[in-house]
Amino acid sequence: MRRLAVALALALLVALLLRSQWTQGLPPLLFRTITLAIVAVLVFSVFERRPRQLPRWIARWALQVIAVGVAMPITTLAIYLLTTKAGAPPFWMDRDRMDGWMMLTFFGLLLAPWTALGALVRQREAFAREQALAFELERSESRLRLLQSQVAPHFLFNTLANVQELVDAGSPQASAVLRQLVAYLRAAVPLLDEPAATLGRELQLVEAYLELMHMRMPDRLQFEIHADDAARALRCPPTMLLTLVENAVRHGIDPSEEGGRIDIDVHRNGDRCVIRVRDTGVGLRETNQSLGTGLESLRERLRLMFRDAQLRITEEKPHGVCAEIEIPT
């Protein structure tokens, strides 16, 4: 349709340019120029795919340009032969009609092949852009799979280290915590190989994880989760929310003598979704200023999946940290 629109626009332009020199009126002139435009588009499109195999000595683009050029005088000749009235002399015997044929043929040969060549250049540029985008997408997907493979051991080692503390301390809750851990890992581990999860499943995992941590330190950890129902179906990288909560527990609540509280808030704001994890732990200490491996990996996974996602880490007053992710909906 774009090719046809360009061809018809050129047909109208040629008709307007020749109008002052045309003795038969504008409608017959428009009929001729539009016919030439349609034929040029048809020939260009046919030779784009046919014949399927070409000799090595000719390129398809050259065949298309040559075919369009050859079609112009043949089409003008056919138009004038078919519009010659019965009993009238051939058009080449009529000076006005011969001049009209020559003008149309000249403009056809002047514009049609160059327009076809321009279309081929734009087509090749578009193909090159598509190839570049496909390559970038493939590279991003490979990078995302690599980062995803790094998340799995990081997540498992962190969780098992928390349980090991209970076992080493001889806690009577160790057995219950292990049972909770087994149930939790059965639900969590399959998600690690998936390219994307949903916020609803992430919230379920986070709630199970916090229940597990609460069993480990019942007097030092409280939490609350608030989430819009409309946000639960949104796609996100697996363990995205869990990474924020793990960091809040390990770097905020664990080092604090009195423990603390974790509040999770997920809500949609127009065409964006904001995921916020606040803790009342020790805050951003000197040893905890950088994002760390887990959060750096998460930032990269967000960038690969959404391009315009944002991850912000800020300090809360009087103490604590707020981790905020903003993703498109």
> How does residue 136 score in pLDDT terms, banded at 50, 70 and 90?
low
Specify the residue for token string 């127009």. Answer: 270
Distance CA 304, CA 236 (A): 11
% of the chain beyond a pLDDT of 70: 82
> How wide is the angle at C-alpha 46 spanned by C-alphas 66 and 70, nearest 5°?
25
Distance CA 194, CA 200 (A): 15
Which has more confidence, 93 or 186?
A: 93
CATH number assigned to the domain covering 171-328: 3.30.565.10
> How does residue 195 score in pLDDT terms, banded at 50, 70 and 90?
low
Task: Please give the mean pLDDT across all residues of the chain.
Answer: 82
Q: For residue 286, what pLDDT is reported?
A: 43
Which of 65-79, 141-155, 196-210 has the lowest average pLDDT? 141-155
Specify the residue for token string 């058009």. Answer: 91
Domain span(s) for CATH 3.30.565.10 in the chain: 171-328
Which has more confidence, 272 or 160?
A: 272
> How does residue 151 score in pLDDT terms, banded at 50, 70 and 90?
very low
Hey, what are 30's tokens?
Answer: 């428009």
User: CB of 181 within 8 A of CB of 215?
Assistant: no
Distance CA 16, CA 122 (A): 27
